[in-house]
Amino acid sequence: MSEFIASSEFESFKKNNDDLAQVDLIYKKSINFYDGDLSEALLALTFTCLPFDHIKARFLFGSKINIPLPSPPKIIFKQKVTNLPSRLFFDTPNTDFGDKDKLAHFFGNAFLRYNFGFFNLSKFMGIFVENVEEGLFIEGGYSFRDIIANHLGELFAESLKCNKDILPSDILKIYQLLFIRIKL
């Protein structure tokens, strides 16, 4: 999947399609690659969409360590990160990085909810990760936008259980609804 995101085929698609359409294409390719196995596809997308190949963490007595994350070879990794969709929401930061990290949150929580729906493991893990990020990681911290991406991933998983044809963009678009204010 990383090779696909890094490919010229995907770059060509990016030129004529918005970021949500790009997310849908990545999702469809993953489903196809895993022969329709939603669980495998969601798990693969969790790691494929990680825009980091390591985490810098605080360790004993103020020391720092780099924890490697699963990633493809450097050249593919760099191109994948460049090509990852970044403009997912109306309030995406206006930087090159944008919301690239939100996809791993979205698909990771979708995977957890899809496979462990009897216990709200996805909600627990999402909040746990944010708190660990705040306390241990040198870069990053607690993000309410990450928590929202987590919740949207959970909703995507629940929706998949009822409708296998639903796409990530159908759920990611809901983010805008969270900020509608109705004045009476």
- Structural contact between residues 100 and 85, judged by C-beta atoms closer than 8 angstroms: yes
pLDDT digits (tens, 9 = 90+) for 132-152: 444 444 445 556 788 889 899
pTM, entire model: 0.81
The CA-to-CA distance between both ends of the chain, in Å, stands at: 48
pLDDT digits (tens, 9 = 90+) for 93-143: 899 999 999 999 999 999 999 998 655 554 445 444 544 444 444 445 556
Phi and psi dihedrals of 63, rounded to 5? -75, 165
Residue 65's beta-bridge partner residues?
57
- Structural contact between residues 107 and 45, judged by C-beta atoms closer than 8 angstroms: yes
- Residue 128 CB burial class (10 angstroms; 0-12, 13-18, ≥19): exposed
- Structural contact between residues 103 and 23, judged by C-beta atoms closer than 8 angstroms: yes
